[in-house]
Homo-oligomer: A and B are copies of this chain.
Amino acid sequence: MKKADVVVVGGSAAGLTAAITSRRHYTEKRVLLIRKEKQVLVPCGIPYIFGTLGSSEKNLVPDAVLEKNGIELLVNEVTDIERTDRFVTLLGGEKIGYEKLVLATGSIPMIPPITGTDIKNIFVIKKDVAHLQQMLEQLDRSSNLVIVGGGFIGAELADECCKNRQIKITIVEMLSHCLMLTFDEDLCAVAENIERERGIEVLAPEKVEAFLGNGTLTGVKLASGRELKADMVILGIGCLANTKLAEKAGLELGPTGGIQVNRYMHTSDESIFACGDCAEKLSFFDGKPSNLKLASTATREARIVGANLYGTRRMNCGVIGVFSTVLGETAFALAGLSEREAREKGYDVVVGEAESPNRHPGGMPEATDLKVRLVFERGTGIILGGQVMGAKCGGELINAVSVCIHERMTVDNIATFPMGTHPALTASPIAYQLTNAAEMAIKGMKSH
């Protein structure tokens, strides 16, 4: 029987990062990555296939990274895990032994319990080149696209599909605004307006009651009674942990349906680890189950798994959740809790905001407004979350916010952290958004 020290099942963000990290920490170990897909897509890049990039081929993770890191690759499907004797079985029957097994089997798109989801030209987003190519071809033939779900995928897809195409696009979102699971309402409203200015119709709150058509899709019936013409539908309502293999092997599942893992990423079998979308998660803030599925979170968990395989070196402090996106030319990002979510979790919150151009003086080229909102707990002054809107450097600024949250910094520490500024790179030191948003929260603290 063929054998590797470490076998990783799954080749997307989590699996790939777990394999690389294993090799970095345990250079003497043989690492084998087994994946179903011939080619691996950049998961977050998928919406951009439909506009900016133009094809799946331009959105691939090159396999060279495996070779460079000394990782063996097998393209095949793992059908079974034999835990007692520690081997996996492949489609076709071949068995491969392992010392440590890493499950990074990802997620599968949700299909809503609505009549007609089996009609042709209703698509979910699969991380599959042939499937996406089919979608792209259908998109180029379509005149009326309905996107169900106004979360990140829905919003980004709409923004991309309208690039260089004459197509009527409608987003149908159950909540009162797009992106409402992530941002505070005012930011969602700005995002939605950008979509509308680009000719996208946003219906929110609205629900789909049925997909219409007799074999061929003709329209979408809404809860309000309205009927939308449609020759293509994309479902972007979320995804579920892919736990098929784990369940078959008798591994425990957690409360949100993911593979149960502890703080060190062990499953209920000490030799088996799980990371990424397939693994159960806890919130950084209250240790409660979290449903977040993000590639960045997946790689973070994979870095913990890779280090912990032969000795426990890293602990998972839970999911903070760092989101970012661009709609039109405006970046939107969040780390931790929005004001609304913090209140829902029972925190007594204080909010501080600062807005300023990302260059100084404001007449410098490329100057774009950048707004920061920080959410603190009143009593302790500890930061709970931050939101950023505006210039694209916000995509990095949100990571500074995330470090602040991770380190449980207080409002005073953030107001006086040593930031660097430069006329051609950031706001002025007097108006630096991150420090000033903290200063603006001071008034509300009533701690002095």
Interface centre among A27, A42, A321, by most B CB within 10 Å? A42
Interface centre among A44, A403, A421, by most B CB within 10 Å? A403
Collect the chain B residues with CB atoms within 8 Å of residue A439's CB.
21, 24, 303
Q: Say yes or no for A423: interface residue by CB 8 A criterion.
A: yes
Q: Say yes or no for A130: interface residue by CB 8 A criterion.
A: no
Q: Say yes or no for A144: interface residue by CB 8 A criterion.
A: no
Q: Say yes or no for A409: interface residue by CB 8 A criterion.
A: yes
Shortest CB–CB separation between residue A65 and chain B, in angstroms?
8
Collect the chain B residues with CB atoms within 8 Å of residue A284's CB.
418
- In the bound assembly, the distance between CA atoms of A284 and B53 in angstroms comes to 46
Q: Say yes or no for A442: interface residue by CB 8 A criterion.
A: yes
Known A420-B296, A429-B295, A429-B298; contact A448-B402, beta-carbon cutoff 8 A: no
Collect the chain B residues with CB atoms within 8 Å of residue A314's CB.
412, 415-416
Q: Say yes or no for A235: interface residue by CB 8 A criterion.
A: no
Q: Say yes or no for A102: interface residue by CB 8 A criterion.
A: no
Q: Say yes or no for A407: interface residue by CB 8 A criterion.
A: yes
One of B48, B407, B420 near A399 (C-beta < 8 A) = B420
Shortest CB–CB separation between residue A368 and chain B, in angstroms?
12
Interface centre among A399, A406, A412, by most B CB within 10 Å? A399
Shortest CB–CB separation between residue A363 and chain B, in angstroms?
5
What 0/1 pattern do residues 404 to 448 of A give for CB contact below 8 A with B?
A: 111101001101111111111110111010110001101100001
Whether A324 contacts B425 by the Cβ 8 Å rule is yes
What 0/1 pattern do residues 381 to 407 of A give for CB contact below 8 A with B?
A: 000000000001111111110111111
- In the bound assembly, the distance between CA atoms of A323 and B425 in angstroms comes to 11
Complex copy number for this chain: 2
Whether B420 contacts A402 by the Cβ 8 Å rule is yes
Q: Say yes or no for A300: interface residue by CB 8 A criterion.
A: yes
Residue of B nearest to A53 (CB): B363
CB within 8 Å of B: which A301-322 residues:
303-304, 307, 311, 313-314, 316, 319-322
What 0/1 pattern do residues 72 to 90 of A give for CB contact below 8 A with B?
A: 0000000000000000000
CB within 8 Å of B: which A110-133 residues:
none
Whether A430 contacts B25 by the Cβ 8 Å rule is no
Known A298-B429, A403-B403, A423-B48; contact A443-B24, beta-carbon cutoff 8 A: yes
One of B323, B364, B392, B419 near A322 (C-beta < 8 A) = B419
Whether B416 contacts A303 by the Cβ 8 Å rule is yes
Collect the chain B residues with CB atoms within 8 Å of residue A440's CB.
24
Collect the chain B residues with CB atoms within 8 Å of residue A443's CB.
24, 27
Whether B434 contacts A399 by the Cβ 8 Å rule is yes
Interface centre among A59, A316, A321, A423, by most B CB within 10 Å? A423
Whether A52 contacts B402 by the Cβ 8 Å rule is no
Whether A296 contacts B60 by the Cβ 8 Å rule is no
The 9 closest A-B pairs by CB, nearest first: A395-B425, A322-B420, A396-B396, A400-B400, A299-B429, A407-B407, A320-B418, A403-B403, A324-B422
Can you list 24 residue pairs at the A/B interface with Cβ under 8 Å? A16-B430, A17-B429, A17-B430, A20-B430, A24-B442, A42-B428, A44-B423, A48-B423, A53-B363, A59-B361, A61-B430, A65-B430, A299-B430, A300-B417, A320-B418, A322-B419, A333-B425, A335-B420, A392-B393, A393-B395, A395-B421, A399-B426, A403-B407, A403-B417
